[in-house]
Structure 1
Amino acid sequence: MISDVISSKELHKVDPVFGQLSFDNHEQIVFCNDKDTGLKAIIGIHNTVLGPALGGTRMWNYANEWEALNDVLRLSRGMTFKSAITGLNLGGGKAVIIGDAKTQKTPELMRKFGEFVHSLSGKYITAEDVGMATEDMDTVREVTPYVTGISESKGGAGNPSPITAYGVFMGMKAAAKYTYGSDVLEGKSVFVQGIGHVGEALVEHLVNEGANVTISDINQDRLESVKNKYGATIYGGNDIYSEDMDIYAPCALGATINDNTIQKLKAKIIAGAANNQLAEDKHGLILQERGIVYAPDFLINAGGIINVYAELENYGKQEIMRKTENIYNTTLEILERAAANGITTNEAAVNIAKERIETRKREHLK
């Protein structure tokens, strides 16, 4: 999250919206407030050149509104690139609800949020993200059709987490192929940081492949559960970034690759599900200089949006899996392009995404 690297005092020095460090020519920012339900939310629409802005809704207990705004700005921008690089006809959007999902989320609040989504007439389509569940999307669906990731029993694609994890697994294998000459992960040490729904599903893939998996999370009960299910090792140290490992898989919140951690990293590969893993673009360059292979997060965690996109395009599980497995090939292409052009892997991925957007712009002008 942006708050990890930019203090609230620094955020207040810049203009409220257009001057935010994470503002990148976003098309629309919508502030949503409802006194009766306690809803305070922000919807960010970054770009709609390729199609409606689709992106999940995150509910998080932000320290202040500046943190929430910068989070939605960064996340919506990432969704633009994620959809573009995976070949989906979607733009980039995201929403954040300010509050504690465990104590403040109610059906009434979710319906009111759905009404705000509906007021945008399909320019933004929401989905599930941190602090949300499939049941919450079902509630939003009661008041607007502009929502994906609803229950399979209601005609939706269901929980996107398993497909997200599979895409990360494919990207990780591609990074291993590029780094080691083989995509077999058996015997490789993998540190999974954050074992929510996506992280746990990733652990299952890794254990089945024969990797040596170490896990960490702030939720001790989840750690014990995942350990008992899959035999993963719970991390007992004080500084995960200094530990010897082959692959670091950040699967919690973003910005874990920052000024405080990047020089300590001993991993050869970074490949995880978290959004915005690099606190700043300069950290991609530092990783490149240190010889650490970074699989761009917005590419390898795109399985979730592929899954919910199926609801809009009415294709089945077989096509979802085909598109998700293609993350392997795209990751290899990006790693090779970055090396050939002497640029970071993140730059290479962003360039491909921007090329597709610019091509569509030119087509519209004809």
Structure 2
Amino acid sequence: MMYLKYMEKYGYEQLVFIQDEQTNLKGIIAIHNTKLGPALGGARLWDYKTEEEAVFDALRLARGMTYKSAAAGLPLGGGKAVLIGDASKVKNEAYFKKFGEFIEKLNGNYITAEDMNITTLDMSYINSETKHVTGLEGMSGDPSPITAKGTYYAIKASLKHMFGDDTVMNHSFAVQGVGATGSNVIKELIEEGATKIYFSEVNEEHAKAIKTKYPSLIEVSNEELFKLDVTCLVPCAMGGVLNDKTIPNIKAKIVCGTANNVLLDEEKHSQMLNDLNILYAPDFIVNAGGIINVYHEIIGYETNNVLKDVFKIYGRVIEIFELAEDNNINTQEAAMLYANNILNKTK
């Protein structure tokens, strides 16, 4: 990948490579845009196959955070950190303290939060070296339940738009990934009366835990999940799962993007879904609950205020669908138009 060309094309500000031989820390911090405020975005730890894969993930995720914050009406920019390594081997206090030192050197341009394979304890180690951290124990903590709440509202908004009624009871759902967010999405659906829910999960412990809690769930493989004739497909795992291979097999009427960057190719695959008459709720609109939660931690956390802002996702999803119809564009294009209108209003 020609990094500078890619950065120029999509308007990135910084791409920072970090490494420390003593702690075996290797990673990338991408800052896309700080027009509205400091770049906020989680740090994820993953055993990437190649350096290029890690960089591309950081860049795509950082850009997504810009639009997510803008669309959610937050005075924040977009950033992301990806750390490269096997979480079971590299994680320790010194590792995260060193990461905190690197964040501190960015002078507040990047604020980190927890993401994949990072815990609130890890965040406390980072916090010992920098104040530019959110999602700490004793504050708002894990944002996943709030992210799931926003996803639940987005699902209901999608049902309302398609069927004229947002009740989940008479519909079927397929959830990919039942980690922190996916398991809470299932909880929300079941509590409102959904009875037919399929799921797939590569982590055996997560799968066992959710089946123990909700025995009525039906477990299938990832490949099977995308072929199910359900009302709504909810991808809550890794990005890039909506692609040339999976989209032609999708029988769901609605896809509610919950994982970040679920479209492998944003332009191509959003149009593929549109051409198949599959209603796509764009991920950065759907999963904004997490960043809303984190923002309220920064300004002073009041649960009622957080829930009020997360509920706005319902109306925002409806607005995106209507914007797409009014302008004869697909829903991803409508979401980008919505966010860019906000960014362009800022001097």
Q: Which residue of 1 aligns with 2:117?
A: 131
Trace 1:100-139 onto structure 2 (pairs within 5 A): 100-139=86-125
1:221 aligns with 2:205: yes
> How far apart in 1 are the matches of 2:56 and 2:7?
8
Q: Which amino acid aligns with 1:262?
A: I
Instruction: Give 1:192 deviation, angstroms.
Output: 0.5
Trace 1:167-246 onto structure 2 (pairs within 5 A): 167-211=150-194, 212-236=196-220, 239-246=224-231
> How far apart in 2 are the matches of 1:110 and 1:350?
34
Q: Which residue of 1 aligns with 2:32?
A: 46
Range with bigger deviation, 228-237 or 176-185: 228-237
> How far apart in 1 are the matches of 2:108 and 2:220?
47
3-state SS, counterpart of residue 41 of structure 1 = strand
Structure 1: gaps spanning 5 or more residues: 1-13, 362-366
CA-based RMSD of the aligned residues comes to 1.3
> How far apart in 1 are the matches of 2:328 and 2:216?
37
> How far apart in 1 are the matches of 2:39 and 2:49?
27
CA contact (8 A) 2:289 2:310 kept: yes
Instruction: Give 1:288 deviation, angstroms.
Output: 1.1
Instruction: Give 1:313 deviation, angstroms.
Output: 1.0
Trace 1:306-325 onto structure 2 (pairs within 5 A): 306-325=292-311
3-state SS, counterpart of residue 49 of structure 1 = coil
CA contact (8 A) 2:257 2:280 kept: no
Instruction: Give 1:21 deviation, angstroms.
Output: 8.5
3-state SS, counterpart of residue 88 of structure 2 = coil
> How far apart in 2 are the matches of 1:245 and 1:220?
24
Q: Which residue of 2 aligns with 1:256?
A: 241
2:344 to 358, 363, 366: 358
> Percentage identity across aligned positions?
44
CA contact (8 A) 1:127 1:147 kept: yes
TM-score by length of 2: 0.96
3-state SS, counterpart of residue 74 of structure 2 = coil
Instruction: Give 1:270 deviation, angstroms.
Output: 0.6
CA contact (8 A) 1:164 1:302 kept: yes
Change (3 A) 1:43 1:21: closer
Deviation digits for residues 291-339 of structure 1 (CA, Å, limit 9, x no counterpart): 1111110011011111111121114111100000100000000011101
Range with bigger deviation, 28-37 or 224-233: 224-233
CA contact (8 A) 1:215 1:232 kept: no
Change (3 A) 1:198 1:232: farther
> How far apart in 1 are the matches of 2:183 and 2:153?
15
> How far apart in 1 are the matches of 2:282 and 2:74?
17
Instruction: Give 1:285 deviation, angstroms.
Output: 0.9
Deviation digits for residues 11-38 of structure 1 (CA, Å, limit 9, x no counterpart): xxx42x1134996221001101101000
3-state SS, counterpart of residue 15 of structure 2 = strand
Q: Which amino acid aligns with 1:59?
A: L
1:161 to 132, 141, 144: 144
Deviation digits for residues 62-103 of structure 1 (CA, Å, limit 9, x no counterpart): 001100000000000000000000000000000000011122
> How far apart in 2 are the matches of 1:61 and 1:126?
19
Q: Which amino acid aligns with 1:103?
A: K
Deviation digits for residues 187-212 of structure 1 (CA, Å, limit 9, x no counterpart): 21100100110111111011112221
Change (3 A) 1:22 1:66: farther
Range with bigger deviation, 235-244 or 330-339: 235-244
3-state SS, counterpart of residue 214 of structure 1 = strand
For these two proteins, the number of residue pairs brought into alignment is: 344
1:69 aligns with 2:69: no
